[in-house]
């Protein structure tokens, strides 16, 4: 039997808090993940600090293997990108991607011009270093496609926590992006996302938690964690009318390909 892969989480948010028992909490989180059939996590950076923490967290790899990305989130695009670039260029045996980066015009915490500049730079970095690109896109697909047309699409690119329409999903697939589905798919008002999730080819699909955010039903309102990727995956399998084991094997293989993970 295959195991689940959580293709996108922010476990460093728990590990690097100020609680004196943070390491104990994370080890317990990893144990719950293992008990839920999850044996691989990709911990995603959103700035210089969280990216460094994600890399450090890979030292806890054991029965659950931990990999990391480094990136600058569009919310913080006005921040200095150079420290993230330095982390990426320094190399690390468990560095597997650039991101989370992209465009967010819903919150617009950073000016759109600075978001586009930071995203373009990170596309170039992923292409240069031959790393996966992890993309955040919210209410910004027109500009996203325009930037990909001008800057190129790295061969291994995923739209994480996809929340667009079926048409936007088809456009992402057409330009070569994979699509990752989070616990939002279980939310009552997510009908368009459910339709989009049905049309993603099985060999282009990933599942994630985006923990500690966006816990799936029936855990909505609680802190999310990687063990819940099994809940997301089983829901998506039922939605698509597929065998959960087949979806588990396929999504884990897809994430291994996307992030160039070693064979189990």
Phi, psi of 115 (to 5 degrees): -60, -45
pLDDT, averaged across the chain: 96
Q: Is residue 17 a part of any domain in this protein?
A: yes
Domain CATH number, residue 55: 3.20.20.140
Q: Which residues of the chain have pLDDT under 50?
A: none
Tell me the pLDDT tens digit for each residue of 153-205.
999 999 999 999 999 999 999 999 999 999 999 999 999 999 999 999 999 99
Helix residue ranges per DSSP H, 58-151: 82-90, 112-129, 141-151
H or E stretch including 8?
A: strand 4-9
Q: Is residue 264 a part of any domain in this protein?
A: no
The pLDDT value given to residue 24 = 86
Domain that holds residue 254: 4-258
Q: Is residue 236 a part of any domain in this protein?
A: yes
Look up the pTM and report it.
Answer: 0.96
Say if CB 192 and CB 166 are below 8 A apart: yes
Tell me the pLDDT tens digit for each residue of 36-48.
999 999 999 999 9
Q: Is residue 263 a part of any domain in this protein?
A: no
The pLDDT value given to residue 16 = 66
Domain count, the chain: 1
């Amino acid at each position: 039997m295959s195991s689940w892969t959580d293709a996108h989480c922010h476990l460093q948010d728990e590990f690097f808090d100020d609680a004196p028992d943070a390491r104990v909490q994370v080890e317990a989180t990893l144990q719950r993940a293992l008990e839920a059939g999850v044996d691989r996590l990709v911990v995603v950076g959103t700035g210089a600090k969280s990216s460094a923490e994600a890399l450090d967290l890979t030292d806890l790899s054991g029965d659950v293997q931990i990999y990391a990305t480094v990136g600058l989130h569009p919310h913080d695009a006005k921040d200095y990108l150079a420290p993230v670039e330095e982390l990426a260029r320094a190399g690390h045996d468990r560095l597997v991607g650039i991101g989370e980066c992209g465009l967010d015009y819903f919150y617009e915490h950073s000016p759109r011009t600075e978001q586009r500049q930071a995203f373009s730079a990170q596309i170039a970095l992923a292409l240069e270093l031959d790393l996966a690109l992890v993309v955040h896109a919210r209410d910004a697909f027109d500009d996203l496609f325009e930037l990909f047309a001008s800057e190129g699409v790295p061969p291994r690119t995923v739209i994480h926590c996809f929340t667009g329409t079926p048409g936007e999903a088809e456009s992402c697939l057409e330009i070569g992006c994979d699509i990752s589905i989070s616990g939002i798919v279980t939310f009552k008002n997510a009908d368009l996302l459910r339709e989009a999730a049905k049309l993603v080819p099985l060999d282009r699909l990933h599942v994630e938690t985006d923990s500690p955010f966006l816990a799936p039903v029936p855990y909505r309102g609680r802190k999310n964690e990687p063990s819940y990727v099994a809940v997301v995956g089983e829901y998506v399998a039922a939605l698509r009318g597929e065998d959960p084991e087949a979806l588990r094997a396929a999504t884990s293989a897809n994430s291994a390909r996307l992030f160039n993970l070693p064979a189990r």
